[in-house]
Amino acid sequence: MRVARLHDVGTVRIHDEPTPKPGDGEELIQVEAVGICGSDLHWFGEGAIGDAQLERPLVLGHEFAGTIRGGIRDGVRVAVDPAIPCETCAWCRGGDENLCSDLRFAGHGSTDGALREYMAWPSHLLHPVPGMSATDAALLEPLGVALHAVDLSHPTVGDTVAVVGCGPIGLLLVQAARLGGAARVIGVEPLPHRRRMARDAGADVVVDPEDIGDLDGVADIVHEVAGVQESVDLAARLARPGARVLLTGIPDGDRTTFRASTARRRALSLVHVRRMRAAYPRAIELVRGGRIELGVVPTQAHGLEDVSTALARAAGRAGGKVVVTP
């Protein structure tokens, strides 16, 4: 089978490798769609993400879906939860598997991800999605992150919610915030085409970061999804006194800062969002029931042989979600 491995910053090579054999409790998946995430771009552009460094050629990709090959579920399309928790640590036992002290995650560290034609993965992390396209099924992972961020925000019906950064997760957050009870959703995005996407996703107000004007201090909840310093500063400005600011974006260089005077005087609660908690069943039902529309995230497909182009295109943020179809 063909496999795309990241060897160094900006260097991905295609290899021929044996098709994996599923172990106990695993099934073989033919990978059909892999979304390129911001964390993949950190690996590609920096050879690292946070304090995790590239130590060996790594297969990226954790937003993915495919079809089971072999066994009693042969031919079933599935969305794949990329996180394998240990299920024995205190965090797992307490229901916070996303905080597992020994978590394995596709496309991170020593665990290869989905930019390959086949992979073996634990059966209990494969969620059937009959009637759903592979690309839509791959988008369930960023939707899960958006749902987790809304959960952590502790919304109240009637809230004003701001989303800073209207890439794929931000677009899904616009919808998820509405489901969480928001009466007004504000999208903040510097790129004109993404501002148009935010309007299509249902944001009530969409502005350029340079034009927030009288929106300073109006939001009960602010979701920061861009991972750049300017967006963190802007999130604090949008937040009213006592608001919650959710930090979902991952910064370059493993450091996030904020203006202490603004955060202190407004007594802001700053909450970091770590992936998701058991979100797949809920995400699937919301999409099936028409409560979340994945079509608000435009997609652009590339073959596995074009994975370097796909990563570069995603880094350029010229469109919506870049998807690789092995």
Same-domain check for residues 165 and 99? no
Q: How far is CA 201 from CA 190, 196, 230, in A?
A: 16, 9, 23
Q: Does 192 or 320 have the greater pLDDT score?
A: 192
Domain that holds residue 204: 146-272
pLDDT beyond 90 at 319: no
Mean pLDDT of 47-59: 90
* Structure confidence by residue, pLDDT tens digits, 85-120: 999 999 999 999 999 989 999 999 899 999 999 999
pLDDT beyond 90 at 278: no
Least confident of 15-24, 38-47, 167-176, 240-249: 38-47
Same-domain check for residues 109 and 46? yes
pLDDT of residue 246: 97
C-beta atoms surrounding 291 within 10 Å: 12
Q: Could you tell me the two tokens for 276?
A: 């998701």
285 in any annotated domain = no
pLDDT of residue 266: 93
196 in any annotated domain = yes
**Which CATH number characterizes residue 307's domain?**
3.90.180.10
pLDDT band at 316 (very low <50, low <70, confident <90, very high): confident
**Which CATH number characterizes residue 165's domain?**
3.40.50.720
Beta strands in 114-197 (DSSP E): 118-122, 126-128, 160-164, 184-188
Helices assigned H by DSSP within 58-139? 90-93, 134-138
Q: How far apart are CA 229 and CA 249, in angstroms?
A: 10
Total of domains in the chain: 2
For 204-211, which contacts have Cβ atoms below 8 Å and span 24 or more sequence positions? 206/166, 209/164, 209/234
